[in-house]
Every structure is written in structure tokens, then in C-alpha cells.
């Protein structure tokens, strides 16, 4: 009798375990169907891979905590699953590219293939080495961009005048590029047209040609302005960091 009861208990336990495994499987399938990884657009995949091919990886030139995110990129996988890439769930369009501290070395061409990512809202290329190349003038085509971070990336030349066309920009960080320069007209256009700008970080950018009165054009939306080591005669009413 005792053996029979024991067998019944074992069978009941096995049934419960089987039932729980079925439920877990169903929940997993349901979750994956509700939150599938979107399929990357072919043109975005092509643009990203072409950008990757213009860059080299230098393991010796960066901070120890940096790592090459683009190593995970290959044409046989969905670009929405690549390191640093975020896609819009509904369309599969790339909306964010975060390649900060990715050990990238190379020059940015004026019309880098990144400008073909027309749905891009966030772009972070900070802490890489772009060989004192200029900020691509083609970036003005990224009209949906709200956040642009190019800090500490060995950029040079003049900040392109047409950067003011990025009218949706909320945050712009060009700090830590001491070979980069803002001329008077370019900065004046930026202050007049980027009406949604909340954060502007320009530490170490050469602003010796900027007319201080340009600061009067800033809108009330600006919450943070950082201008350390800019070789700029700043009016007393403009704090270097605010």
C-alpha cells in the first residue's frame, strides 16, 4: 500500500513538472512573438558595413575598458542585433548608433555612409580616433538627429556651417577636440537656429574667432553650456560651465 502511494506521488510530481515546463515554453514563445527583433533595412545594413570597412581597430591606442563593438557586425546577421545598434521596432530602421570607445581608427569622409541612416536620432562616435579629419558636412542630412556626441575623437578643421540644419538637436557634444575650430559665422548660425538645444559641450574647441555677442542668441531651452579651454573671451554674464 505504501509503495502504491509513493508511486502515485511520483507520478503526480512528474505531471506537475511537465505541466510547468509546457507553461514556461508557451510563455517564452509568447514573449518572443510579442517582442521580436525587428528586421534591419537592407540599405541600413549596407551603410553600416561600409562604414565599418573604412575603419581599422587599434587595440593599443585606447582606454582598457574600450572594446571594438563593430567586431560583431557581419552581413549574415540582422543589424538590429549588432552591438551598438538600435532599431525602430515597427520599421526596422536604425534610430541609434552608439560606438563610443570602440577603438576605431580612420578618417571620416564628408559623405560617410552613416549619412544614409536617415532615421538616426542618436549618434555617439566619442572616444575614437578619426585622424584629425573634419566633421562630415553630410551630417546635415540626418535631419531626425536629436543627440550627437563626437567628443574626444581627434577631429579637426572647422565645424561645418550646415550643422545648424540639424534643427531637432537637443544635445551636441564636441568637447575634447582641440584641433576643431568654430568660426564666428558658424557659431552665430548655430545659436540662432538650434532652438531645441538643451546641452552644448564645447570644451577645448578653438573658439577664438567667435564673437561673444553670439551668446545672446541662445534660446531659453539651453540648460547646460560648457566652454572650458576654448580660447574665448566670454562675457561676464556667461558662465563657463552652467
Residue 157 bridge partners (DSSP): 180
Q: Which residues of 107-140 are buried (b: 16+ CB within 10 A; e: fewer)?
A: ebbeebbbbbbebbbbbbbbbbbbeebbbbebbb
Query: Hey, what's the cell of 181?
Result: 575650430
Quickly list DSSP for 170-196.
SEEE-TT-TEEE--HHHHHHHHHH-TT
Beta partners for residue 123, in sequence order = 97, 148
Q: pTM value?
A: 0.83
List per-residue pLDDT tens for the chain, 242 residues long.
555 554 555 555 555 455 555 445 554 444 444 556 789 999 999 999 999 999 999 988 677 889 999 999 999 999 999 999 999 999 999 999 999 999 999 999 999 999 999 999 999 999 999 999 999 999 999 999 999 999 999 999 999 999 999 999 999 999 999 999 999 999 999 999 999 999 999 999 999 999 888 888 887 789 999 999 998 876 666 655 44
CATH architecture for segment(s) 56-226: Alpha-Beta Horseshoe (3.80)
Read out DSSP for 108-160? PPTT-GGGG-TT--EEE--SSB-TTPPPPGGGGG-TT--EEE-TTS--EEEPP
Here the cell at position 99 is: 560606438
Check if the beta carbon of residue 134 is closer than 8 Å to that of residue 156: yes
**Extents of the domains making up the chain:** 56-226
CA distance 222 to 242: 10
Amino acid at each position: 500500500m505504501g509503495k502504491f502511494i509513493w508511486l502515485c506521488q511520483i507520478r503526480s510530481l512528474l505531471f506537475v513538472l511537465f505541466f510547468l515546463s509546457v507553461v514556461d515554453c508557451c510563455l517564452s514563445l509568447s514573449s518572443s512573438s510579442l517582442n521580436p527583433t525587428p528586421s534591419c533595412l537592407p540599405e541600413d545594413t549596407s551603410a553600416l558595413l561600409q562604414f565599418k570597412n573604412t575603419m581599422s581597430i587599434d587595440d593599443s591606442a585606447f582606454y582598457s575598458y574600450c572594446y571594438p563593438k563593430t567586431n560583431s557586425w557581419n552581413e549574415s546577421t540582422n543589424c538590429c542585433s549588432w552591438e551598438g545598434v538600435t532599431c525602430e521596432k515597427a520599421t526596422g530602421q536604425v534610430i541609434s548608433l552608439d560606438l563610443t570607445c570602440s577603438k576605431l581608427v580612420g578618417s571620416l569622409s564628408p559623405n560617410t555612409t552613416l549619412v544614409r541612416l536617415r532615421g538616426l536620432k542618436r549618434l555617439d562616435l566619442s572616444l575614437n580616433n578619426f585622424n584629425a579629419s573634419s566633421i562630415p558636412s553630410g551630417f546635415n542630412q540626418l535631419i531626425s538627429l536629436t543627440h550627437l556626441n563626437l567628443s574626444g575623437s581627434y577631429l579637426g578643421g572647422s565645424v561645418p556651417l550646415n550643422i545648424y540644419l540639424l534643427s531637432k538637436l537637443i544635445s551636441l557634444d564636441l568637447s575634447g577636440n582641440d584641433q576643431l575650430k568654430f568660426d564666428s559665422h558658424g557659431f552665430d548660425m548655430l545659436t540662432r537656429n538650434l532652438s531645441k538645444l538643451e546641452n552644448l559641450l564645447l570644451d577645448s574647441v578653438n573658439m577664438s574667432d567667435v564673437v561673444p555677442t553670439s551668446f545672446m542668441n541662445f534660446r531659453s531651452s539651453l540648460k547646460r553650456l560648457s566652454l572650458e579651454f576654448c580660447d574665448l573671451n566670454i562675457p561676464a554674464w556667461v558662465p563657463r560651465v552652467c
